[in-house]
Structure 1
Amino acid sequence: MHSKKHSALWSTLSFVSLVATSQVHAQQASTNAESESLSEESEAMVVTATRSRSDEGETPQRVTVIDREQIEQQMAITEDPGQVLSNLIPSYSPSRQKLSNAGETFRGRDAAFLVDGVPQSNPLRDSSRDSYTIDLSMVERIEVIHGASAEHGLGATGGLINFVTRKAEGGGISQHAGVRLTTDDDFESDGFGHKLDYRVSGQHEKWDFVAAATRQERGSFYDGNDQRVGIAYPGELQNSESYDLFGKLGYWIDDNQNLELTLNHFDLEESNDYVPVAGDRDAGVPSTAQRGTRDGAPGFNEVTKARLAYSHADWLGNEVDAQVYHQRFRARFATTPFFPYLDSNGDTQYDQTRNESDKVGAKFTVNRDGMLDDRLSLTAGLDILRDETRQMLVETGRTYVPESQFDNIAPFLQGKFELAEPLTLHAGVRHEHADLEVGTYQSIDRSNVTQDNVTVEGGKPSFDETLLNAGLTYQATDWAQLYANYSEGFGMPDVGRVLRGIDTPGQNVDNLLQLQPIVTDNREIGARFDWDRYGLELSYFESDSDYGQRLTEQNGTWVGSREKTEIQGVEITGDMQVTDNHDLSLSYTHAEGESDQDGDGRVDTDLTGINIAPDTLKLGWSATWNDRLSSRLQSTYYFDRSVDSPDLDFEGYGLVDASVGYRLPAGRVSVGVENLTDEDYLTYYSQSARISDEYYFTGRGRTFTLGYQLDF
């Protein structure tokens, strides 16, 4: 049942051979193929996530910008946001292929997810669903900052992933309609899924708008052995239904001033048609599922976001950006045997939890360029956030995580100074002030049917941290750039995990050391090379925390162990434009880390798969054969990994995906194949993050997606 190592490696080597021969095919490609000019491709893209509006390729830390074409290529193959991110972002963990992204880390730590700069992560009770708050059909590009970012602060200890939503298209009214059909390779009736999406946008005088909607139904997932993939308690993508309603309205006050209102509502609900069947990890038998009705109500993810933004391109010589926002997050988890209670007949039943979080906040940014003979640029800003969160038991109304209020205010100053023509200094400072308020509450004894556990006295601890960052870029030649960076990250531990796990009487929230914030020290050195049609970037990073957070499993639930952690790794990415019509890409990432589990002040125990991604090699080939036909072939190989706990050793596997697109006289059709070789494998999370018969999941087998899109 386990993945065959030689088969997986053979899949990747076969792909390498195919890529190696692509130059011959490229020379035969039609010369009239549609492609962007070299001047357009070399035009630097402004990365809004940096706040200082830096150009891509000119920052002292690694930045990746994923454009709409890349997103479309991946969505032709898979609609799983976690898989799309894993395919496109170096050092992002393999997707769990579930609704939960727990264990999907970035450079070994948490990533802060944003939508148009609005934080999606929940600092008080991490539901691990923050990458499932918007449909990717609404996203124009994804901006990724590798490593801690002091410009955004809270939560960005491993990096930042900002989803930038679509803007109105010019030229009057334009519309888009699309449909996708998905099935396993045996065309099982319960394996069928479909997605419908529609978008309309336009401009009229000073107004512009975008309105869009998607609806998706997902069928059962089948693995490479044609068995149903198991059902997970934290949340499922398979057998689910989702929809997304998106709207954006803009008004140009004058040539420099713009107001923009954005609304988005995303809702995903699981079906209740299947029940989990535990596997046998020792015997190598994976978890699966069978028809039946699960206890309790189906799990769901429901997120509503409202954002009002104002920008001024020339306010007394400054660029001004301001936004206020509100996010309402609700998530329900499946019924488990961990929350027993007595019903009206005195019979033992089991409860389920619901997480509720409401955020309001504001961000203000002022940019000033051209100072000191055009050598100095400054960015100043202020971020304000209030988050109110609780987690409750649905049937009994008991408190699992008490209602908590988190207030955060953070001013920052960032500067860029050209020391000499090839050498530029980037430096800044950010101060984080946070207040956490929790009322007195009773924790739950999860082994007791009727009683709560202990009373915990409430409190209002405050935290202050000043974060520094400094970096250099050195333009050694017109084709080579070196960079080095130091930055500090700030994040809160999962407060809910701490509060719900207290079982010792006499505890006081003010005195809980485990509520202290996570501060990471991040160092990075790298080099970028640009030889016209060829590009290469190399980076080495280190991320240390004297009081970090390592997830560990206790009695069926994850708790955050506060320990000293040290992580280091390497990222290598390259691309080659063989001709105007054929592009090759390659990336290799390696990361390792250790924590101090015995408290002696030295890191000595390997971090496992819940924290660290495996060494990964990714290869890609995009081709435009003529003005109608295009294709994408990509391969990922995850290498074996051994840790101090042999039960969490990882046996690597390789996956190959492919897609073909064809432009019709009216519209465009695409065919995508995920897991082209039908590899039968156990997911990285199942092998290396958790020892459990219930969470011993195989990955999705060969899956076909047929799509049609029409723009009019």
Structure 2
Amino acid sequence: MFHPTKTRTAWLVPVMLGLPGLAAAQASDDETTASPDLSPLVVTATRNKSLAGETPQKVTVITREQIEQQLAITDDPGQVLSNLIPSYSPSRQKLSNAGETFRGRSPLFLVDGVPQTNPLRDSARDSYTIDLSMVERIEVIHGASAEHGLGATGGIINYVTKRADAGELNQHVGVRLTSDDDFESEGFGHKLDYRISGQRGDWDYLAAASRQQRGVFYDGNDDVVGIAYPGELQDSTSYDLFGKLGYWLDDDQNLELSFNHFELEEGDDYVPVPGDRDAGIPTTARKGDPDGDPGYNEVTKARLSYSHADWFGNELDAQVYRQRFRARFATTPYFPFLDDNGETRFDQTRNESDKLGAKFTLNRSGLLDDRLAVTAGLDLLQDETRQMLVHTERTYVPESRFRNLAPFLQGEFQLLDPLTLHAGVRHEYAELDVDDFSTIDRSNVTQDNVTVQGGDPSFDETLFNAGIVYQATDWAQLYANYSEGFGMPDVGRVLRGIGEPGQDIDTLLQLQPIVTDNREIGARFDWDRYGLELSYYESDSDFGERLAFDSDRGIWVGNREKTEIRGLEVTGEMRVNDAHDLTVSYTHAEGESDTDGDGSVDTELTGLNIAPDTLKLAWSAAWNDRLSTHLQSRYYFDRSVDDPELEFDGYGLVDASLAYRLPVGRATFGIENLTDEQYITYYSQAGRISDDYYFAGRGRTFTLGYQLDF
């Protein structure tokens, strides 16, 4: 049986990030590769399956070629996103994306539409739940969106995983070696990945595995980068097991089961050496035996999906999923307890979150003389989360149960040939259930602090979106959009931070939802070899959340305040010829919050909440059918804020890579931080005042890779 939808491959060179050099080298690597389908790419992160370049909201699609190009330079997922997504904050280079924002707010991370973000107790590790070797492309929706429900106040980042290749048996083997520029033995790392896939009759299958060992990181001065409590990528081991099994019931119906298990465990060979922020001395690390058990991330996802391309004239997609998330953090001085010998020791925390959900989507096109398309659906989610102390089994954040039901309706109407209207509505019904609990007194080892009465508050929100796309000429397109995003505050952060007796869950104002309004206008231009996109946005929330650190209590708090953010994104591409491609992007953002509660914003947002102005340049070149190169640079501009201690001194970084097709397989060589710049990361300068968290960025790093497809 022939299934055209199984073998069709969608190819796109986005306006911002064309990579013809690398793409040409990869295409020539296999003479049997079929000609690519140049039809517009369907963006699955949009529930109505919009086409890239035709949406009223800015969308970026990161192709597999671009992912491979970045992985030749760095294996840090946060760095890959920061390099490729305009308005995404600089990477912290840690096992934590706290402080990594998207348009100044939190993005919703998805894997094949399955939410990875934990709405009740944000572990800030939701971008580290799958190895990028398992990902085919990344779909990015800029700005608040309610299309996938809870959490997308800043946008949506959807990892679309690989599918089975055509043919009965296809195999891939890859290896990467990483080292600092002095080739220190402690800095060596390696990665192995293997994949097998194929199609036999009505079945298609894919199985893949990867394992990575990272060494320690060295800065531009050849010192070991400091160790962070929230989580470390350096000196860690990770692996990923991934599989898909699909069955075609007929030409229109497909059933697919997928599974992914990702685990990353930190090493236990180094301890931090605090720096001196005032003196400009960064935190480092030395050989030692850290207290407690190593931190880790452990995420398991299972998904069963069903699709029908012609169900009574409709296109039906349904999926049920389950996700199990576990994260352990390092020992901190905030949880003392007495051991069996009566000595004071300190505890560490573990996050536990279990999600069970379902999504149902029905698309109908061709209505009203082929001018109207309608999408309807229903999303269901149950999330149970708690945070425990590992050694004493005390409850840090009580078990919280969140249930969410959300029907939605979306329409697309072609009013005139060049003018298309988009509009939709989504109703969110959510219920939070928390039992009675007592908070932990961080300074006393024998007694609890405050008793809090449990409750089950419920929330109703109706969210709207509306937009237009106007094709002014064959080379110019204008668009405008209004959309709303729905999010919950970090419930765990609120609950664990309660310090006043007599609090009641049902009446806690801090637990009210976050509704973000996103307004955007933009233009897309395509002049044969030149492309340009301009986008201006405003993101407001009357009752938003601003993350801040309470140094007296040693905890992060989410201040519920009115926030307003404004920003500009400019992305462009110049295809000099068939072999050379130049890309550029510039982003500017500014924001304020209402810290005194008078209804008027008055205080500038810091680097913990908003990214610096950024200029990125890149040049890709295919020198012949074997050799291609890529050079990229980014400059983060200085930023001054109301708090002089959180001002940011900008810095610039340059990376380079090359790919060479061998008689058998393909080799890559990448250099991160080509100039060996010594710098203090954006988060360490502009996000937090601390000698313990004053980290330098990674210095010059080499990565040598080899891949073979057979």
Query: What band does the TM-score fall into relative to the shorter chain?
Result: over 0.9
What is the aligned partner in structure 2 of residue 54 from structure 1? 50
What is the aligned partner in structure 1 of residue 656 from structure 2? 658
User: Would you say 1:615 and 2:609 are equivalent positions?
Assistant: no
User: Would you say 1:491 and 2:487 are equivalent positions?
Assistant: yes
Of residues 395-404 and 555-564 in structure 1, the stretch that sits farther from structure 2 once superposed is: 555-564
User: Which of 321, 328, 332 is equivalent to 2:324?
Assistant: 328
The number of equivalent residue pairs is 683
User: Would you say 1:44 and 2:72 are equivalent positions?
Assistant: no
Instruction: Tell me the SS of whatever aligns to 1:290.
Output: strand
What is the aligned partner in structure 2 of residue 75 from structure 1? 71
User: Would you say 1:692 and 2:690 are equivalent positions?
Assistant: yes
User: Would you say 1:602 and 2:589 are equivalent positions?
Assistant: no
1:290-305 matches, cutoff 5 A: 290-305=286-301
User: Would you say 1:390 and 2:386 are equivalent positions?
Assistant: yes
What is the aligned partner in structure 2 of residue 227 from structure 1? 223
What is the aligned partner in structure 2 of residue 399 from structure 1? 395
* 8 Å Cα contact 1:124/1:496 also seen in 2: yes
The TM-score, its normalising length taken from structure 2, stands at 0.95
- Amino acid aligned to 1:354: R
Alpha-carbon distance, 1:108 to partner: 0.2
Identity %: 77
Deviations 1:499-519 (A, max 9, x none): 001111111100100000000
- Amino acid aligned to 2:85: I
User: Which of 463, 468, 475 is equivalent to 2:464?
Assistant: 468
What is the aligned partner in structure 2 of residue 365 from structure 1? 361
Instruction: Tell me the SS of whatever aligns to 1:104.
Output: coil
User: Which of 564, 567, 576 is equivalent to 1:566?
Assistant: 564
What is the aligned partner in structure 2 of residue 537 from structure 1? 533
User: Would you say 1:456 and 2:452 are equivalent positions?
Assistant: yes
Instruction: Tell me the SS of whatever aligns to 1:546.
Output: strand
Counterpart CA distance in 2 for 1:340 and 1:581 is: 62
User: Which of 162, 170, 185 is equivalent to 2:166?
Assistant: 170
Counterpart CA distance in 2 for 1:80 and 1:150 is: 28
* 8 Å Cα contact 2:225/2:284 also seen in 1: yes
- Amino acid aligned to 1:413: L
Counterpart CA distance in 2 for 1:34 and 1:425 is: 43
* 8 Å Cα contact 2:57/2:480 also seen in 1: yes
User: Would you say 1:315 and 2:311 are equivalent positions?
Assistant: yes
User: Would you say 1:270 and 2:266 are equivalent positions?
Assistant: yes
Deviations 1:509-561 (A, max 9, x none): 00100000000111000000011111100000000000000001013321100
Counterpart CA distance in 1 for 2:148 and 2:374 is: 16
- Amino acid aligned to 2:155: G
Alpha-carbon distance, 1:451 to partner: 1.2
What is the aligned partner in structure 2 of residue 649 from structure 1? 647
1:234-245 matches, cutoff 5 A: 234-245=230-241
Gaps of 5+ in 1: 1-25
* 8 Å Cα contact 1:103/1:609 also seen in 2: yes
Deviations 1:456-498 (A, max 9, x none): 0000000000000000000000110000000011000000000
What is the aligned partner in structure 1 of residue 9 from structure 2? none
Counterpart CA distance in 2 for 1:297 and 1:42 is: 51
Deviations 1:171-223 (A, max 9, x none): 22000001000000011110000000000001000000110000000000000
1:425-444 matches, cutoff 5 A: 425-444=421-440
Counterpart CA distance in 1 for 2:681 and 2:362 is: 45
Alpha-carbon distance, 1:428 to partner: 0.1
Instruction: Tell me the SS of whatever aligns to 1:107.
Output: coil
User: Which of 134, 137, 141 is equivalent to 2:137?
Assistant: 141
CA RMSD of superposed structures (Å): 1.5
Counterpart CA distance in 2 for 1:82 and 1:490 is: 24
- Amino acid aligned to 1:177: V
- Amino acid aligned to 1:711: D
- Amino acid aligned to 2:690: S
* 8 Å Cα contact 1:362/1:385 also seen in 2: yes
* 8 Å Cα contact 1:388/1:405 also seen in 2: yes
User: Which of 190, 196, 199 is equivalent to 1:200?
Assistant: 196
Alpha-carbon distance, 1:34 to partner: 8.2
* 8 Å Cα contact 1:33/1:626 also seen in 2: no
User: Which of 48, 71, 85 is equivalent to 2:81?
Assistant: 85
Counterpart CA distance in 1 for 2:283 and 2:388 is: 28
* 8 Å Cα contact 1:34/1:626 also seen in 2: no
Counterpart CA distance in 1 for 2:240 and 2:108 is: 22
Alpha-carbon distance, 1:367 to partner: 0.2
User: Which of 396, 412, 420 is equivalent to 1:424?
Assistant: 420
Instruction: Tell me the SS of whatever aligns to 1:69.
Output: helix
Counterpart CA distance in 2 for 1:580 and 1:447 is: 66
* 8 Å Cα contact 1:34/1:624 also seen in 2: no
Counterpart CA distance in 2 for 1:153 and 1:390 is: 21
What is the aligned partner in structure 1 of residue 59 from structure 2? 63
Counterpart CA distance in 1 for 2:674 and 2:238 is: 26
Instruction: Tell me the SS of whatever aligns to 1:65.
Output: strand
Deviations 1:589-627 (A, max 9, x none): 000000000111100100000110000000111111111
Counterpart CA distance in 2 for 1:265 and 1:188 is: 32
Instruction: Tell me the SS of whatever aligns to 2:45.
Output: helix
* 8 Å Cα contact 1:33/1:624 also seen in 2: no
Instruction: Tell me the SS of whatever aligns to 2:67.
Output: helix
Counterpart CA distance in 1 for 2:65 and 2:296 is: 30
What is the aligned partner in structure 2 of residue 674 from structure 1? 672
User: Would you say 1:629 and 2:632 are equivalent positions?
Assistant: no
What is the aligned partner in structure 2 of residue 589 from structure 1? 587
Instruction: Tell me the SS of whatever aligns to 1:54.
Output: coil
Alpha-carbon distance, 1:43 to partner: 2.9
Alpha-carbon distance, 1:153 to partner: 2.1
Alpha-carbon distance, 1:42 to partner: 5.6
Instruction: Tell me the SS of whatever aligns to 1:579.
Output: coil
Counterpart CA distance in 2 for 1:587 and 1:104 is: 19
Counterpart CA distance in 2 for 1:115 and 1:190 is: 33
Alpha-carbon distance, 1:41 to partner: 8.3
1:120-139 matches, cutoff 5 A: 120-139=116-135
What is the aligned partner in structure 2 of residue 114 from structure 1? 110
Counterpart CA distance in 2 for 1:468 and 1:40 is: 37
Counterpart CA distance in 2 for 1:596 and 1:40 is: 52
Structure 1 stretches of 4+ moved >6 Å: 32-37
Instruction: Tell me the SS of whatever aligns to 1:487.
Output: strand
- Amino acid aligned to 1:585: T
- Amino acid aligned to 1:607: L
What is the aligned partner in structure 2 of residue 7 from structure 1? none
- Amino acid aligned to 2:393: G
Counterpart CA distance in 2 for 1:345 and 1:507 is: 37
Alpha-carbon distance, 1:344 to partner: 1.6
Counterpart CA distance in 1 for 2:79 and 2:479 is: 30
Counterpart CA distance in 2 for 1:573 and 1:398 is: 50
Counterpart CA distance in 1 for 2:579 and 2:302 is: 41
CA distance 1:365–1:72, shift in 2 (3 Å)? same
Instruction: Tell me the SS of whatever aligns to 1:488.
Output: strand
Deviations 1:617-650 (A, max 9, x none): 0011111111110111000000000000010000
Instruction: Tell me the SS of whatever aligns to 1:49.
Output: coil
Deviations 1:56-85 (A, max 9, x none): 000000000000000000000000000000
Alpha-carbon distance, 1:33 to partner: 7.4
Counterpart CA distance in 2 for 1:220 and 1:150 is: 40
- Amino acid aligned to 1:148: A
Of residues 180-189 and 576-585 in structure 1, the stretch that sits farther from structure 2 once superposed is: 576-585
What is the aligned partner in structure 2 of residue 20 from structure 1? none
Alpha-carbon distance, 1:574 to partner: 0.4
* 8 Å Cα contact 1:385/1:408 also seen in 2: yes
Counterpart CA distance in 1 for 2:28 and 2:308 is: 40
* 8 Å Cα contact 2:497/2:555 also seen in 1: no
Instruction: Tell me the SS of whatever aligns to 1:190.
Output: helix
What is the aligned partner in structure 2 of residue 14 from structure 1? none
- Amino acid aligned to 1:682: I
Instruction: Tell me the SS of whatever aligns to 2:576.
Output: strand
